[in-house]
Each structure stands twice: as structure tokens, then as C-alpha cells.
Amino acid sequence: MTRLPQSIAALLLTSSFLVAEEAKDAWWNKDWTQRQKITLDASAISGAAGESTLLLRIADGTVFTSAREDGGDLRLVAADGKTLLPHHIERYDSLLGEAFVWVKLPDVKAGADSMHLYFGNANAPAPGASSDAYGEDLAAVFHFSETGSAPADATSNGNAAAAPATIAEGSIIGSGIRLLGNTNLAINNSPSLTWTAGAPASISLWIKPAALQPNAVILSRGEGNGAFKLLLDQGMPVIESGGVRSANGSPIAAGAWNHLAVTFSGASAQLYVNGEPYTTAAVALPASDAPLVLGAMENGLSGDIDELRIHNSALSPAAVKLAFINQSGTDAAMKMLSAAATEGGTVEGGSHMLEHVMLFGDIANNMMFDGWIAIGVCVIMIIVGWTVAIKKYAYLNKIEKGNKEFLRLWKNLSTDLTALDHADEKTIKSMGGSIDEEDQELMKDSPLYHIYHIGSDEIRHRLHKMSDKMEGLPGRSIQAIRASLDAGLVHENHRLTDGLVFLTISIAGGPYVGLLGTVVGVMITFAIIAKSGEVNVNSIAPGIASALLATVVGLIVAIPALFIYSYLNGRIKNVMSTMQVFIDEFVAKMAEFYRPKNDAEPNGGQ
């Protein structure tokens, strides 16, 4: 057989590799518009952890703005681009931008792997059962995310606690439960939880002791000498079963989260603390069908507990360390499961804008009644203020157009004011016959045209009254006419500024109304917190955010109103200045063309 040249062989090998990579990164389903590559870096463990359900913490705003409000369109696809990985959403809060998603991986071992998180399909069908995210090895998993009901098992085994527990928000993973030293939580027995003597089993959980006590009971099962207990003796985790007690180790600190895991294999029990071997005890798993109890009515743990898991196998050291790192929420956990930038979807930058817009909708959903009252008042201010502004803008455009036309005609008329027949109203309106009815209609709203009419009427009145006595207008008459013109100026000013008070009310009152809504909303939020006794970001943030929305709306009322008022006021001042200049010119022309014969100076008879 003829051998291919090395260059051709290398080219074929490279092409095959590129085709394989392209197939690997191929889009799983075009109905999902966006995805993120999730990289699993398990280099921190040694050996194989096997099938594992890992925690994916989502805090990327792109996911919350593009995925459905309940996260129902989230899908996790394996590195082959085809296999759907079962997942369970423990919490999905689009308002706070926080989600805890458990995903089952078939085989985790030291090294790197990847998967894709798909989202962005509003019409996505319901995902598979959430219990599929937990393998047959798990007898029970308690996330303690329930509020107002007994903690329930996340697996398909359907285990449940005997009664509701006191919820502790802000735990290591979402919410947990709180024990007070004299309270407990019993988990009823079931076929999946029944222990057979000497069988392999594992128990893992997170604890946060409020104080260090002697022999505080964390978890127990059974009574008497054959009972199994997991204790915390002055901060030192201890296994006790059948009268045998493990050796003491280094104590853990109060007020900090620690991961404990106990594995039974044959006649030996191994205790792990924060993923590392801590101590052993020469005891086998005792046979028991008694309830499994967290805490105790006497000398129980005082503190918080989260993420309790019961396994029907002895976890390997790699599996224990994997669970500790993955669930810890530390930088190591972020490195173990890290998300790349979003692929697909909207144009870059648009998602961030959409995110902010959608957040305002979520905030509004938490708005209290008093906040809506403040926003309602602000909305009324906006409607009234903008209505005035639009009408005033149109009115100023109209009068400025009329003023411009009037000044063009006045330029010719002002050369000889006596050309007007002041006894003839039609001549006055037509400015000596120089304009037609169409131009008169254009100038009817012009303040200069109004002032011109006032001056013409005053001249006609004075000339008619004094026609038998003398020609022209004496100084006192001119002063009286000027007073009439100034009065007309004041009336025109009132007409121009009419309604602007609503804009000033919006400028001054909008922020205060919004601030009032914010202050009342914050007061109510803190009153609710004080009444419930629970202080955590999940209870404070929505109320504060919705209260601040009232101030935002108040500023939205005031800021545009301020700019609009300044703009309109500037144009009104220009119109007033034009009227003042016209009055001075009109008086000067009147004094020039209507001075008495015996007046030597063309200054109006002064």
C-alpha cells in the first residue's frame, strides 16, 4: 500500500481534530438562544469521586435577564454536546441575581472537564424530574429550603422531617435550619433510611456552631448504648457509637461554617472535617430503624445546619473533598466550576441594558402600597407638567412666528407712523393695508401685534379727544400711552408664563414626594424585620430596593422638568426683551411723528 506523504497525513490529522472540536462545541438545540461554557476543574482532588451531584452557583446577570423568570428553561448539556445532565434548581431568584442549581455528573475524577448551560427559551417544556439529579447512592438529601413546611427530601425516596424547622437565611447554600441547644429536628425512618448492621454508609452536613459546648449533639440515631451520635465537644467533632468514642482532634471555631462527613466501611468509621481526614473510630454502622435526629432537647447543638446528605455507600476521600470544595462557596469552589462568557443571544451590550430594565420590573413587583401612592402623585405631576410644557412649546413657536412676521411689516410702517388712519379700525388691523386676512390670522397671537393695537388705540383716543385743541400729542399724553403699553407688557408676560408653576411644582415637589415614599417604605421594611426577628439580605434587599424606586421616580419627575423649565423660561425672556425694545421704539416713533407744532425738538414735546 502506498503511504501518504507526512504533510498530507498531518493535514488530515489536523482536519479530523478540528471536525471533532467543531462537533464537540456544536449548538445543542437552536430553540435555546444562549449558552455558557461551564468548566470543571477537579485538580484539587486526587483519585476518582465517581458519580457526583455538584452545586452550580449562578450569579451572572445575563442568565437572569435572558432565562425564564423561574429558570424553567435552564438545561445542562455534557461536553459531547448531546447528553442532557439531570439538574435540580434549589433556588432561583432573578431579583437578587442568585441561583443554586444541582447537576449530576456521571464520573468526576481529577482533571478537567466541561459542560454547557443553555438558556433563553421562553417556550421550553418542563425539564425532567428534579429527583433525577440525585443518584441511587443517595438515600436522602435535605437542602432545608422550605419555608412554613417540614424539610423534604430532594431524592425520589420521599423522606421528610416530622415537623417544620426554624429557617436560617443566608446559610452556606441558600437557607438552612437553626437549632437553639434545646430544640431538635427528627427525620422519620423509611426503607431507604433503614440501617443494616455493618453496611457501608455515609453522612455529610454543614454546621455553624453559635458557641462551643461540651458534648453537644449534632446528629443522633437510636437510644442507649447502641445509639450513634455525632457530637461537638468544645469544638472538637466526635463519633460515638456502642460505647466507643473517636479520639479528639483540633477544635473548629464558633461562628464559622464547617463541613463534616462520616463514612462507615466494615468495622471502621472515618470522620472528615472540611474535606480532610480528622479521626477514626473502630465502630461499624449500627442497625437502626429509629428516626434520625438533628440536635437534641437537652445539650443539643446551638447553631445552624445546612445540606444534610445520607449515602448508602462509603464515600471515597476524593468524593468527600469534592463535596466540601464544591459546596463551600469559596474561591476554590468558583475555580472548580467556572462559567465563561455568554454565547449567542442579543448584541453585546444590549443584554446589560435589558437586565437593568427587567430589574425595575422585579423591583416594582415588591412595591408596597405607600410607595405606589408616592409614585401615583409623581405620575400626576409628570402628566400635568409635560402637558403644560408641550402646550407652552407650541404656543411659543406660534407667537415667535407671528412676531417675526410683524417685525418685517413694522420695519416699513415705522418710517411714517402717520400713514395709519387711527380712526379706522380696519386700517389699524391691516397695518395701513399692508397685510391681508391670512397674515392677520398668523399674527393674532403675536404679543407685539397686541402691543401695537394698544398703542394705536391710545393714539386714536388721544387724537380724537384733542383734535379741536391742537395738533400732535403732548408729553403727558405720550407718558400715559407708555403706561398703557407697559400694562399690556405685564398682561402679555402673564399669558406667557401661565402654567409654568406646574413645572416649578414638579421640580421642587417631585424629589420630596419620592423621598417620602422611600422613607416610609424603609420604615415599614425595618418594622417587618424587627417583628420577624430575621435579619438577612434576602429580607432587606427587596423592600429597600422597592422603597428607593419612589425616589428614582421623583427624580425622573424633577430633572426633565428642570431642563424644560429653563428652556421655556429662556425663550419667554427673549420674547419679553423683544416686546420691551418694541415699546421703546413705538414711543420714540410716536413722539417723533405726533409732536405738537410749537415743539421745536422731535422728542415728544418734552
Residue 424: the pLDDT is 62
CA atoms 58, 128, 320, 110: torsion sign: negative
Residues 123 and 143 in one domain: no
Does 2 reside within a domain?
no
Q: What percent of the chain has pLDDT over 90?
A: 56
Does 508 reside within a domain?
yes
**In this structure, which amino acid lies at residue 520?**
V
Residues 87 and 188 in one domain: no
Residue 469: the pLDDT is 44
Burial class (CB in 10 A: 0-12, 13-18, 19+), 105: buried
Q: Rg of the chain over CA atoms, in angstroms?
A: 42
Q: Which residues of 438-472 are buried (b: 16+ CB within 10 A; e: fewer)?
A: ebeebbebbbbbbbbebbbebbbebbeeeeeeeeb
Tell me the C-alpha distance between 287 and 402, whole Å. Answer: 101
Kindly tell me the number of DSSP H helices and DSSP E strands found in the chain: 12, 23
- Complete DSSP assignment for 196-227: -TT--EEEEEEEEESS--TTEEEEEESSGGG-
Residue 361: the pLDDT is 66
Does 355 reside within a domain?
no
CATH code for position 77 = 2.60.40
Residues 515 and 422 in one domain: yes
Residues 131 and 142 in one domain: no
Residue 349: the pLDDT is 44
Q: Which residue has the cell 443571544?
A: 345
Residues 287 and 174 in one domain: yes
Pairing of strands 244-245, 258-265: unpaired
Residue 331 Rama label (left phi>0; alpha psi -120 to 50; beta): alpha
Residues 222 and 195 in one domain: yes
The alpha carbon of residue 592 and the mean position of all alpha carbons in its chain are separated, in whole angstroms, by: 71
Residue 536: the pLDDT is 61
How many domains does one find in the chain?
3
Tell me the C-alpha distance between 85 and 116, whole Å. Answer: 10
Contact 212, 329 (CB under 8 A): no
Q: Three-state DSSP class for 594?
A: coil
Q: Which domain holds residue 219?
A: 138-312
For residue 246, give the DSSP letter. P
Residue 313: the pLDDT is 96
CA atoms 503, 507, 509, 511: torsion sign: positive
**Strand partners of residue 236:** 233
Does 476 reside within a domain?
no
Residues 240 and 211 in one domain: yes
Residues 153 and 223 in one domain: yes
Which residue stretches of 414-499 are H helix? 425-429, 437-443, 447-466, 475-497
Question: Measuring CA to CA, which residue among 509, 559, 568, 570 is closest to residue 391?
Answer: 568
Chain segment 580-597, per-residue pLDDT in tens:
998 888 888 888 777 766
Between helices 447-466 and 475-497, what is the axis angle to 10°? 150
Q: And the C-alpha cell for 290? A: 429509629
Residues 509 and 436 in one domain: yes
Does 304 reside within a domain?
yes
Does 351 reside within a domain?
no
Could you tell me which residues come within 8 angstroms of residue 249 by beta carbon, excluding any fewer than 6 positions away? 236, 237, 273, 278, 279
Does 606 reside within a domain?
no
Could you tell me which residues come within 8 angstroms of residue 341 by beta carbon, excluding any fewer than 6 positions away? 36
Stretches in the chain below the pLDDT threshold 70: 1-25, 345-362, 366, 414, 416-436, 439, 465-472, 532-539, 596-606
Residues 527 and 439 in one domain: yes
Which residue stretches of 25-151 are H helix? 61-66
Could you tell me which residues come within 8 angstroms of residue 56 by beta carbon, excluding any fewer than 6 positions away? 38, 76, 87, 100, 101, 102, 103, 117, 337
Tell me the C-alpha distance between 59 and 77, whole Å. Answer: 19
Does 69 reside within a domain?
yes
Contact 376, 382 (CB under 8 A): no
Residue 405: the pLDDT is 83
Residues 36 and 159 in one domain: no
Residues 185 and 77 in one domain: no
CATH code for position 296 = 2.60.120.200
Tell me the C-alpha distance between 440 and 446, whole Å. Answer: 10
